[in-house]
Amino acid sequence: MIRFENVTMVYDQKSRLGSENARPGLDDVTIEIDRGDFAFLVGASGSGKSTFLRLILREIVATGGSVHVAGQNVARISSWRVPKLRRGIGVVFQDFRLLPQKNVFENVAFAMQVVGESRSAIRDHVPEVLKLVGLEGKEKRQPDELSGGEQQRVAIARAIANKPQILLADEPTGNLDPATSVGIMNVLDRINQNGTTVIMATHDDGIVNSMRRRVVELSLGKIMRDEIAGEYTSMIPVINQDGTRELRQADHSTWHRPSTGNQAFAPFDTEDDMP
Amino acid sequence: MKLGFILGEVGSGLRRNLSMVVSVVLVTLISLTFVGTAALMQMQITQMKGYWYDKVQVAIYLCGEHNEGTNCAEGAVTEGERGEIKSMLGSAAVKPYVDNFEYESKEQALTHFREQFENSSMSETVTADQLPESFRVSLVDPEKYQIIKELFSSMDGVDVVVDQRELLEKIFSIINIASFVAIGIAGVMILCAVLLVGTTIRLSAYLRRRETGIMRLVGASKSSLQLPFVLEGVISALIGALLASGVLWAAVRFLIDDKLALDYKDTAFISTGEVFMVAPWLILLGVVLAGVSSLVTLRRYLKV
Ligand SMILES: Nc1ncnc2c1ncn2[C@@H]1O[C@H](COP(=O)(O)OP(=O)(O)OP(=O)(O)O)[C@@H](O)[C@H]1O
Ligand SMILES: [Mg+2]
């Protein structure tokens, strides 16, 4: 469904040539995410998670390597066909990004109006989507009359209103308390069970640890590990002899670093990806 | 993308950005009014040329009692002198240039004068004696006026030879200058309008960056992203152009039709019909300029 081949993203090419310490947002990343997968993207701030997601959306174009989405090399898509690519991808952000002057129903309907859906299709489909995210009966509320969790549900509903095959979530629980986050994760899980590929960038270790889904960890733009049912961190706290604490790489037998060439967990989706 | 949805977006854009929209309307109104004025003045010249050129003649004014022309020292023109001028007009030397000629007595001159200035108070006070008698000569080729002037200016009893075309040319050159000034002002104002449309669209794109951001993410096509903004600029310009046409129509209706045309019955004036010929071009100009300016702005400020 999504395949990165030696993808490098250098944001500011000029300054990179000029200064030594400038480093790429993504550095030679190769990975494959299958149809129907649920993958967490973890890593420190600035490790390249958002860059990864923006490359899939073709908000930015890789400076090296190629990004394939649903069998298409996104760099080769002409600019007037980019909207078509994006209709197949839903996106959710940490800050919800709802339209404040539209109510819940209208916010979700907006996504369908934009792509030219008919009024009757909108009338039928929006309530279904709102039900899926658990917002029945709240159609008429304005965003400022909703809790953060509810607002995120609206944002998710909008993201899946056009039935995308892929859902990208960039720290969707970043602004929510743990209990509310669990609710959101249940919604994302339900969407994933309906067959949508979900990629979620997060800092929320509790969620990652409890979900036991695929975990891709980025560090300084490189893939550190890629586990089938991973945990948030590969670091374990160690107490040094002088009493200080620090995090060390745990020697975990289930890790598979991509550098070893082991792609067992991400087999190529050849039938999908042939252009 | 459904039309109703786009129009809704345009409406919300116009409302949110109202003060800028009003300024676009006003600047377009003013610039297009100047363009239209220049066009109408040119049409007035054409109108007058068509009307006058076959009517204007060379006038050979004859001496009256009190003329001070070099040939008028002996007072009013005599019967004999008048006859000589007349036969000169019919002579072989002059005949090839003259289409026809006609004598106008003082009384006839008064009648013409009264007709021409019917509504002005002057026509009451003027008497036949104050007006000169003349020969009205139509030339085969109006450009050959100089020959007639040379032949007749020095004859006894001739006060002055006047080419009426020259008078008209003076009027035309004044109108021409006026329309160049109007074009100049219009040019500056159009530049203002184009820049202002650009700024307005930029501001509008900024005010609606949330919506456009979401539209891009859910896969709005380039045209559906840009169309509401372009329409916003075009609609503002269209309103300005319609208002400009209205202003021109009112000006022609109340200044020319109701005033000048009545005061100067003998002159051909443009009328509201000409405004209806100019208006579509003004509207087209306004719409095209606003559309192009919006699109150019959006290329920079609203990428897909
Ligand atoms: N538009 C940009 N221009 C230049 N550099 C950028 C840009 N966006 C990101 N970067 C750089 O690319 C690197 C990766 O950034 P990215 O936003 O992908 O990190 P992230 O993993 O999403 O971080 P966070 O967890 O804080 O959201 C960072 O070093 C960042 O400074
Ligand atoms: Mg980020």
Using one digit for the tens of pLDDT, what is the confidence trace for A32-76? 999 999 999 999 999 999 999 999 999 999 999 999 999 999 999
Instruction: Tell which A residues from 39 to 58 touch B, by Cβ distance under 8 Å.
Output: 57
pLDDT more than 70, % of chain B: 94
Residue A214 lies in a domain: yes
Residue A235 lies in a domain: yes
Mean pLDDT score of chain B, rounded to an integer? 85
Residue A156 lies in a domain: yes
Does the pLDDT of residue A256 top 50, yes or no? no
Instruction: Search chain B and give the residue with CA nearest A111.
Output: B218
Ligand 1 atom closest to Cα of residue A53: 18
- Mutation to test the A interface, candidates B214, B298, B299, most A Cβ within 10 Å: B214
> In terms of pLDDT, which residue wins out, B122 or A198?
A198
Q: Which of A35, A4, A167 is nearest to A89 (CA)?
A: A167
Supply the pLDDT for residue A261. 38
Q: Which domains does chain B have, with CATH numbers?
A: 3-52+169-301 (no CATH), 57-163 (3.30.70.3040)
> In terms of pLDDT, which residue wins out, A111 or B115?
A111
Q: Which ligand is nearest to the CA of A216?
A: 1
Supply the pLDDT for residue A168. 96
Ligand 1 atom closest to Cα of residue A43: 21
Mean pLDDT to the nearest integer, A254-274? 40
Tell me the shortest Cα–Cα distance from A251 to chain B, in angstroms: 40
Supply the pLDDT for residue A249. 61
Does the pLDDT of residue A266 top 50, yes or no? no
Instruction: Search chain A and give the residue with CA nearest B213.
Output: A97
B116 pLDDT tier (thresholds 50, 70, 90): low
Q: How far is Cα B151 from Cα B93, in angstroms, rounded to an integer?
A: 10
Does the pLDDT of residue A119 top 60, yes or no? yes
Supply the pLDDT for residue B104. 85
**What's the A200 CA to ligand 2 centre distance in angstroms?**
11
Does the pLDDT of residue A250 top 70, yes or no? no
Residue A26 lies in a domain: no
Supply the pLDDT for residue B45. 85
pLDDT tens-digit map of B128-165: 777 888 888 888 877 778 888 888 888 888 888 888 77
A110 interfaces chain B, CB cutoff of 8 Å: yes
Residue A153 lies in a domain: yes
Beta bridge partners of A148: none
| CB within 8 Å: A83 and B221 | yes
Task: List, as one string, the DSSP characters of A37-76.
Answer: -EEEEE-STTSSHHHHHHHHHTSS--SEEEEEETTEEGGG
B121 pLDDT tier (thresholds 50, 70, 90): low
Give the CATH number for residue A172. Answer: 3.40.50.300
pLDDT tens-digit map of A4-18: 999 999 988 765 555
Residue A29 lies in a domain: no
Residue A3 lies in a domain: no
Instruction: Search chain A and give the residue with CA nearest B224.
Output: A114
Supply the pLDDT for residue A253. 42
Residue A219 lies in a domain: yes
| CB within 8 Å: A83 and B222 | yes
Instruction: Categorise residue A119: left if φ over 0, alpha if ψ from -120 to 50, beta otherwise.
Output: alpha
Tell me which residue has tokens 């020959």: B147
Supply the pLDDT for residue B73. 74
B260 interfaces chain A, CB cutoff of 8 Å: no
User: For atom 17 of ligand 1, which residue has the closest CA?
Assistant: A50
Mean pLDDT to the nearest integer, A95-115? 93
Ligand 1 pocket check: which of A11, A41, A199 to mutate, most ligand atoms within 8 Å of Cβ? A11
B3 interfaces chain A, CB cutoff of 8 Å: no
Ligand 1 atom closest to Cα of residue A48: 18
User: For atom 5 of ligand 1, which residue has the closest CA?
Assistant: A11
B270 interfaces chain A, CB cutoff of 8 Å: no
**Residues of chain A contacting B217 with CB distance shorter than 8 Å:** 57, 86, 91
Query: Which residues neighbour B27 within 8 Å (Cβ) at sequence distance 6 or greater?
Result: B189, B192, B193, B196, B240
Q: Which of A111-115, A173-177, A231-235 has the lowest mean pLDDT?
A: A231-235
What is the interface pTM, i.e. ipTM, of the complex? 0.78
Note the pTM of the prediction, 2 decimals. 0.73
> In terms of pLDDT, which residue wins out, B280 or B186?
B280
Return phi, psi of residue B25, to 5°: -60, -45
Which helix (H) or strand (E) is A199 found in, with range?
strand A197-201
> In terms of pLDDT, which residue wins out, A244 or B25?
B25
Q: Which of B211, B218, B222 sits opposite A115 (nearest CB)?
A: B218
Instruction: Please state the domain count of chain A.
Output: 1
> In terms of pLDDT, which residue wins out, A162 or B224?
A162
| CB within 8 Å: A57 and B217 | yes
Residue-range definition of the domain harbouring residue A92: 35-60+85-254
A252 pLDDT tier (thresholds 50, 70, 90): very low
